[in-house]
Amino acid sequence: MKKIPGSKARSRQVLLRGFLRWFLYAAVLLLFYLFMGNPLIRGYCPLLIIPLATAVAMREGDLAAGVFGTCCGLMIDIANGVTVVGFSALWLLCACPAISLLARFWVKGTFLSHFIINAAVTAVMAAMDMIFLHWIWERGESMITFTKVILPSYGGAVLFSVPVWLLVKLIVDKLRPKEQRRLEESAQSAEEMEIREKE
């Protein structure tokens, strides 16, 4: 069986686009990590890495989402300095593949669904942070930490979820192979038609 001459060039192009896409994800992650380490407003640092992890998880496969989520969690833990390294990474390792599967089979990949999913992930992370890292050790004073540190940081992660989603969407739209995008669009339209027929 003869190989089609254009298939090699096409596969190289797909690999290059995939590499560039993940390179840009990593660059954005590094930028958000640097921002966490040196916030523009003293004492206020929204955890932009969380919406980045959830947005990428909604656009990529479950294995890739799990690996990227773990990296994001490790970056949060290292930048934070207070948490045990692996605390956020473990949670995002579990959450990101689940988000990827949800986005593939149950939830539409829109900014609204990302906002809701990101808010849920952020709320769980904020609750774990509050209980295990502050309330156990500080007790009465933990409410001060909650209002001055946890609420602004995790609240910022929810607040900035839409701009981060749009950034990830831009990267995916520009660098995902056209064939794959067409398949995803046709699958979504087929699902919509099925729903309309049932109604």
pLDDT one-digit tens code per residue, 10-43: 677 778 888 899 999 999 999 999 888 776 665 5
**Is the sign of the CA dihedral 160, 161, 166, 169 positive or negative?**
positive
Q: Is the pLDDT of residue 2 over 50?
A: no
The region of weakest confidence among 58-72, 99-113, 140-154, 166-180 is: 140-154
The Cα–Cα gap between 160 and 174 comes to 22
- Sorted by sequence, the CB contacts under 8 Å of residue 177 that are 6+ apart come out as 13, 14, 17
Burial class of 182 by CB neighbour count within 10 A (0 to 12, 13 to 18, 19+): exposed
Taking only the tens place, the pLDDT of each residue in 62-71 is 899 999 999 9
At 44, is the secondary structure helix, strand, or coil?
strand
The confidence band for 1, taking pLDDT boundaries of 50, 70 and 90, is: very low
The region of weakest confidence among 132-136, 150-154, 159-163 is: 132-136
Q: What is the pLDDT of residue 107?
A: 84
Prediction pTM value: 0.78
**Token pair of 108 as six digits:** 């539409």
**Token pair of 185 as six digits:** 């669009």
Decide: 156 and 48 in contact? Cβ < 8 Å: yes
Q: Count the alpha carbons within 13 Å of 53 in the hemisphere toward its beta carbon.
A: 35
The Cα–Cα gap between 134 and 111 comes to 32
The Cα–Cα gap between 60 and 185 comes to 15
